[in-house]
Amino acid sequence: MRQMLVTMFLLYLFIAPGAVAHAAVTGDQDFAKGAALLKQKQYAEARAALEAGLTKSPSNAVAHFNLAEACGGLKSWACAEQHYETAIELDAKAIAAGSTEPRIPRIKAFQLLDEAKVWRLLEQARDFIVGGQAQPDKMKQAKDALDSANELGLNDEQQAVYQYLLAKIPGRGPAGSKPDGTARGALPEDPREAPMVLVPAGEFTMGSTMGDDEKPVHRLYLNAFYMDKYEVTVGQYAKYLGVTGMEEPSDWDIMNQPQHSKRPVVNINWSDAATFCKWAGKRLPTEAEWEKAARGTDGRTYPWGNEAPTRLHANFGKKDWDNHMALVPVGSFEMGKSPYGIYDLAGNAWEWVNDWYDHDYYKKSPAKNPQGPTKGQSRVVRGGSWLYVPDFLRTSFRFNAEPSGRQFGYGFRCAKTR
């Protein structure tokens, strides 16, 4: 018995203090306490505990996610936005490193991040309006904040706040309309009026050495053309279906909801895309046009440059369609724009182009305005999607798909000859 007491005493002296010290150093106790308080909706106490833990272990993705939840419960939207973003970035790094650490609910995190951004922007607009009734510059700042919130997509509660604040801005009207009736801060109601960007005539480098079907690297000359600034959205496609009576894509009832109106339409096959573009007075881009619009003339690896993709550049690497919540509103990634200011040419949705796919086409492609093979069994899609790995986001990456296939990741944008 005496020996047992001595052993227990030694364990207390040398082992227990170490375990307690380790917990104190890592912040695990704070994280556990914060998570428990969060479940009880004691948001202020949860926030304090989680912040204390993160001072000791700042790289814990789950703790950042829980802290964002606590901040959201307190309506501290800037805090929530910051920690959702940090949680998503840390989780992505852990996945890339093969870590077995607990995962955050990624789809939910992206959704809640968007909601936090919208609430922050609405609060900014309110503050500008309250503090600047007689100051035109404050009213402009309020308008810009509301426009940005609207572009991200509003739920029913946010829509009510948005309309209320919009009515407070002189000249905006109760419905937030311009004199011609088009909602500001939104894409035009008529998809035929969607904004396009001019891609000037000239040479560019096409292909790369990173894929067998991307070889050889070669120089091409393209005439000037226009490319849609954004992918075609659910809202635009709904307008098209209403006018034409064309067949609805798969899961249309799920996509055709107010919260998805500014997200890219998917479940679109090649014929759907080509028919829409023709109706809009446009056409699908050629594969060469798509690549030039994405990479410009400096041979960059991604639309934004050669920096590896992050969550600030593109929407990618998710696992579940989640009833269309895996996609994000078009134009969400300022850092991901192409050299011509075109959005989402990497990630979000694969984009159909006009060309048939031929693995060896680059070996025989004409040097000016190539139109692709005259026939084939599959068509080319470009740009990667919400589902795929970073390598698929490269500007030169080629993928082929069955033309009749309607998949959760297949969307499109249109082009137009100058």
The Cα–Cα gap between 282 and 240 comes to 14
SS3 178: coil
Domain covering 16-104 in this structure, CATH number: 1.25.40.10
Give the model's pLDDT for residue 21: 47
Residue pair 280/57 in contact by the 8 Å Cβ criterion: no
Q: How many residues does the chain have?
A: 418
Tokens of 52: 């204390």
The Cα–Cα gap between 282 and 414 comes to 6
Give the model's pLDDT for residue 114: 85
Give the model's pLDDT for residue 17: 46
For every residue of 217-271, DSSP letters joined together read -EEEEE--EEEESSPPBHHHHHHHHHHH-PPPPTTHHHH-SGGGTTSBP-S--HH
Instruction: Work out whether the CA dihedral 379, 384, 388, 390 comes out positive or negative.
Output: positive
The Cα–Cα gap between 289 and 284 comes to 10
Alpha helices in 74-187 (DSSP H): 77-96, 106-131, 136-152, 156-166
H-run or E-run covering 19: helix 16-26
Q: Give the residue carrying structure tokens 């006009």.
A: 354
Q: Give the residue carrying structure tokens 């969607």.
A: 194
Give the model's pLDDT for residue 164: 85
Tokens of 364: 């025989």
Fill in the DSSP letter of residue 305: B
pLDDT along the chain (418 residues), means of 10: 46 42 70 94 95 94 95 94 92 84 83 89 89 74 86 76 84 40 52 93 97 96 96 96 94 94 96 96 98 97 95 88 92 93 97 98 97 96 91 96 92 96
Angle (CA) 172-176-181 rounded to 5° is 95
Cα–Cα distances in angstroms (integers) from residue 165 to residues 182, 256, 359, in the given order: 18, 26, 54
Tokens of 225: 């053309």
What are the φ/ψ torsions at residue 380 (nearest 5 degrees)? -90, 135
Domain layout of the chain by residue ranges: 16-104, 191-417
What are the φ/ψ torsions at residue 24 (nearest 5 degrees)? -65, -40
Fill in the DSSP letter of residue 308: P
Distance of CA 16 to the CA centre of its chain: 47
Tokens of 276: 């829409």
Beta-carbon count within 10 A of 15 CB: 10
Give the model's pLDDT for residue 176: 36
Fill in the DSSP letter of residue 331: T
Give the model's pLDDT for residue 184: 34
SS3 372: coil
Phi-psi group of 19: left, alpha or beta (phi > 0 → left; psi -120 to 50 → alpha; rest → beta): alpha
Phi-psi group of 228: left, alpha or beta (phi > 0 → left; psi -120 to 50 → alpha; rest → beta): beta
The Cα–Cα gap between 69 and 256 comes to 28
Domain covering 191-417 in this structure, CATH number: 3.90.1580.10
- Nearest Cα to Cα of residue 231 among 265, 271, 270: 265
Rg value, the chain, Cα: 25
The Cα–Cα gap between 314 and 24 comes to 37
